[in-house]
Amino acid sequence: MLPLYRVSDHVVGDGDQDNKLNNESCDIDTDTDLLTASDSEDSKFNLDLESNYSNGEETDSDIDEEYIIFPIWLEKADDVCIRLNSLIKNGQIPKDKIFYKYFDSVSYAMIDPNHKYDEQIVEFFNSIKFLGGERTVNFIRGPMWHGCGSGRVFNPESAKLNLGGPGRTTRLKHSGYTTASGVIKPWLDSFLTLAVDPSVDVKPLVDSPIVKVIGTAMKNDGTALKPAIQYDEKQQINIGLKMTADIEFVKANPVPKSEFLRENVVTEANVTYLSTTDNRVVMPVSVTYKPKAGKTGKEMKEQFLNEVELLQSCHCCIKAVVTSRHILDKPATAICKSACQACIESASVCDACLTQGQTSHVPSLRACQRCLKENVQCCRAVVIVLASDCESGNKRAFELISQSKADGTLPPQFIFVCLPDAVHVGKSLKCSFANWMLLLDEERACLSMLHTIRDSDPELKKLLPRECPK
Ligand SMILES: [Zn+2]
Ligand SMILES: [Zn+2]
Ligand SMILES: [Zn+2]
């Protein structure tokens, strides 16, 4: 009955929380109407409600109703409380929905400013920030603890709010992330953990007492980013350039040049996904932020080979390496050694390796030195397919990789084949011809048709402006 009728503070409460609430009510509502159970019309109402909500446990008591004397003071709850209570009880305000959680969190914060906000409320306010900016958040939230000073104890009585909600610092406290380029250690770690989990049931390519190899396909594609330099409050750095734009950097480059920006402003997030060959585990594992001038064949070849090499490191070594900003880099995974020169040269397993239990001469299908030493099964992924769209840089990279494979200069741990991504091939064939058919003088056409016609005839190029929409 506490939500409806708060027992006044001279009655001993059941627990700490009761006492707290009682004290609160006493502080705030000293001049509201207090009534006893026996002295007004409302008392009847009180008792009716009481019996409605008490599951009929004591309704057939043999005490005369007239005889009940409450040795306590009861205070009538606010109309809003009563309405809320019945709405919550009959399920119109579900406890797992935002409205309930919002009231719960904000009212708790009014009593205890250190109370943890519900995660969804924080997310909700982050969405408001994303959609409408900090000003909208401030408008909804109100000044809240403004003037209390940072780092001090907030006094609930001095809270000033519109609707209330989590503050900026609370909203900034979300889980870790990185804005650095490269293979992200926690992602690859999760991928391998899932891939070798028996409940996921991924069939390994090689499964021997010393090594377990999971066959994987690697997919790469880029998504465009709006070029900008932005201050990241959590990391306290400027992001959006290839390098970190700190005070030293600004001092060294007082006048930004357009060529510099073209080469250094990030315009693309190049994402690599790894999936097991049976498609049971699919996860992004790497993100590379690229400027406009960063997709030559040579650079993409380097990126692909570097990513494949890192992704083929064994699970133990990945867990063991120390990373900076969650990024795995080459020196860190150099500890995972599995190649044997004698085996590679003879393209078969040498006697020494045979006694170790190795079954292949290909370094990415063998147990690594560390795992052998520690006598544990070496679990690793091996990339057997690399798929990507056929942008000029990627296409050239594929050609270069095939070339060096033919020349025999490709290091032996790379056993993957390069495939153009089927979805992108389909996209190229379609050429967006099917989009937005228009009726032009009883003929159906679309903008890309116009564009193609213009490109096909030099005479038309003179007639139609260059800015003819794509
Ligand atoms: Zn290893
Ligand atoms: Zn060997
Ligand atoms: Zn290993």
pLDDT at 10: 43
Question: What's the rounded Cα separation, in Å, for the pair 236 and 141?
Answer: 25
pLDDT at 213: 95
Q: Among all ligands shown, which has an atom nearest to the Cα of 355?
A: 2
Backbone angles phi, psi at 185, to 5 degrees: -55, -50
CB atoms within 10 A of CB 399: 13
Ligand 1: centre distance to CA 380 (Å): 8
- Rounded to 10 deg, the angle between the 119-141 and 98-111 helix axes is 70
Q: Among all ligands shown, which has an atom nearest to the Cα of 367?
A: 3
Task: Give the C-alpha distances (Å, rounded to integers) separating 301 from 263, 312, 394, 407.
Answer: 19, 16, 8, 15
Ligand 1: centre distance to CA 358 (Å): 14
Q: Which residue is it, tokens 């330099």? A: 229
Ligand 2: centre distance to CA 212 (Å): 18
Ligand 1: centre distance to CA 381 (Å): 11
- Cβ(186)–Cβ(318) under 8 Å? no
Ranges of the chain with pLDDT below 70: 1-72, 149-153, 173-175, 294, 423, 425-438, 446-448, 465-470
pLDDT at 17: 42
Question: What's the rounded Cα separation, in Å, for the pair 194 and 318?
Answer: 15
Q: Among all ligands shown, which has an atom nearest to the Cα of 378?
A: 3
Ligand 2: centre distance to CA 214 (Å): 22
Ligand 2: centre distance to CA 155 (Å): 71
Q: Among all ligands shown, which has an atom nearest to the Cα of 318?
A: 1
Q: Please calculate the CA angle 20-24-27 and round it to the nearest 5 degrees.
A: 140
Tokens for 267, please give them: 């315009």
Q: What is the 3-state secondary structure (H, E, C) of the chain?
A: CCCCEEECCCCCCCCHHHHHHHHHHHHHCCCCCEECCCCCHHHHHHHHHHHHHCCCCCCCCCCCHHHCCCCCCEEECCHHHHHHHHHHHCCCCCCCCHHHHHHHHHHHHHHCCCCCCCHHHHHHHHHHHHHHHHHHHHHHHCCECCCCCCCCCCCHHHCECCCCCCCHHHHHCCCCCCCCCEEEHHHHHHHHHHHCCCCCCCCCCEECCCEEEEEEEEEEEEEECCCCCEEECCCCEEECECCCCCHHHHHHCCCCCHHHHHHHEEEEEEEEEEEECCCCCEEEEEEEEEECCCCCHHHHHHHHHHHHHHHCCEHHHHHHCCCECCEECHHHHCCCCCCCHHHHHHCCCCHHHHHHCCCCCCHHHCCCHHHHHHCCCEEEEEEEEEEECCCHHHHHHHHHHHHHHHHCCCCCCCCCEEEECHHHHHHHHHCCCCCCCEEECCEEECHHHHHHHHHHCHHHHHHCCCCCCC
Ligand 1: centre distance to CA 393 (Å): 32
